Structure 1
Amino acid sequence: MTIEGGCRCGATRYAIAADHIDAIYCCHCTDCQRWSGSAFSEQAVVRENAISATGPVIEFTLTTPSGAQSHQRACGVCHNRLWNSNSSRPGIVTVRAGTLDHNRTLTPRAHIWTKSKQPWVVLPNDVPAFEENAPIAEFTAILTR
């Protein structure tokens, strides 16, 4: 089975070879707020070898404060950011969950960087929330349960 998504203008489409995507989280850091132009970003974690794209995909690289290389992929026409990989997490990509065709069916499993969240955003009590990045082992356990 595949899960599909694409950019705002429709020029770039992607497919993820998976039956379902459960590893969804929301990031409330100020970088994600700026990138998304919204209060937070909703992201899906998938294996890098599971994603393929058609249409014009551009890539640009940023160096993170930790020194890791963040490789951003976006539509070459409308520049809608679609997914990224990071040299500190080989084999994993982070898909912008809002670009998935069926994004309304997703349920976040965690919220990170809540110390930067907008004051009007109310988080559910039953979803783990972290003031900054979650400890990697705990975060992995939450996303893979």
Structure 2
Amino acid sequence: MAPFKALYDRRCKYLVGWFEVGESSILGPEIIHESLEKVRVIRNRLATAYSQQKSYTDNRKWPLEFDVGDHVYFNISPMKGVMRFGRKGKLIPRYVGSYEFLQRMRGVDYKLAMPAEQASVHPVFHVSMLKKCLGDPALILHV
């Protein structure tokens, strides 16, 4: 009688327990070598896939840093029904303003010079919410 059947008075429903006592074969060294070879092949394929994905990520990612006095745009995420920076609706711009960068707070936090009409907005932002202004900020028309 199988050990599972002796304990629970029924057969095991999983494939692991579908054998009677003495039916299981003893594993030899060749089966162990085959399984180790398969594990090595799987590890090599995983390493190849990891390095390929890492190279794709590294090509698209670049460090973004600003110098004091640079002008940056601030990202406003479009959320339905939320009014941000006095703009609301479907056709709001993705980036607003041209704000001057004042200082770097920590590793990725930057403090911007916000105008008086936007005093309710906290002036410290994460680097991912900023985009560098590549043109001359004096030529930007504020509508």
Fold match by TM threshold 0.5 = no
What is the TM-score of this pair, normalised by structure 2?
Answer: 0.23
What is the TM-score of this pair, normalised by structure 1?
Answer: 0.23
The higher relative CO (CA closer than 8 Å, separation ≥ 6) is in 1
Structure with greater proportional strand content: 1
